Amino acid sequence: GAVVSQHPSRVICKSGTSVKIECRSLDFQATTMFWYRQFPKQSLMLMATSNEGSKATYEQGVEKDKFLINHASLTLSTLTVTSAHPEDSSFYICSAYPRGISNQPQHFGDGTRLSIL
Amino acid sequence: SQKIEQNSEALNIQEGKTATLTCNYTNYSPAYLQWYRQDPGRGPVFLLLIRENEKEKRKERLKVTFDTTLKQSLFHITASQPADSATYLCAPGGVDSSYKLIFGSGTRLLVRP
């Protein structure tokens, strides 16, 4: 149980393109989802907290107009990297927190490798 | 500011030995602490969660301790196997109501056959 699916797993695109990444909780409902970014050999850096039906909460230094987050349902959150540039190339990972249960682990997707040429 | 420290150097041990990884945190008081395993190019996989009122927790060959006085957690893998080779991340949480986790930099474990 507690499976999180992230799609696509890999994206290669030209500079200036907008890229959408989907994060789905397959067998549970998630009021809260999180988006992380990870550079090579570094830890996960939290970008934003996505709450179903409300605006995302962004961490300090993360541009909300650059990284658009939509959490339209209890099983789906999307991250759109708008007008992506080479410096946006990274490994993006989402996680989902089961609805209505406290002090539980987050369940992670398998990440999206984004490469901007 | 909140800080989490894990040994950045890789831990290299012989198969069958016990691996011990350390996680130290400063400037906050988490209600719980989680340990995850991450393989290259994959998302983290949850291993164990220990709450602030628990001193120790076990799961098969894994053991976690949580010392809120020392602000430290130790993660042990007994009878280690080459398949245990991965990066292990600690993540204190429950500081506020947001369910946010802040991850340590991770320690890479290499188990030699």
Dist CA B93 CA B34 (whole Å)? 8
Q: Which residue of A has its CA nearest to B44?
A: A108
Contact A46 B98 (CB under 8 A): no
A50 neighbourhood in chain B, CB within 8 Å: none
Instruction: Tell me the torsion sign for CA atoms B31, A27, B105, B113.
Output: positive
pLDDT per position as a tens digit, B23-68: 999 888 888 899 999 999 999 999 999 999 998 999 999 999 999 9
Q: SS3 of A15, please?
A: coil
> What pLDDT score was predicted for residue A4?
94
A8: preceding bond cis by omega (within 30 degrees):
yes
Contact A106 B102 (CB under 8 A): no
* Cross-chain CB nearest to B31 (options A43, A44, A103): A103
Q: Which amino acid is at A48?
A: A
> What pLDDT score was predicted for residue A1?
66
Q: At a CB cut-off of 8 Å and minimum separation 6, what does B97 contact?
A: none
> What pLDDT score was predicted for residue B99?
75
Size of interface A-B (CB pairs under 8 A): 57
pLDDT per position as a tens digit, A10-66: 999 999 999 999 999 998 898 889 999 999 888 899 999 998 888 899 999 999 999
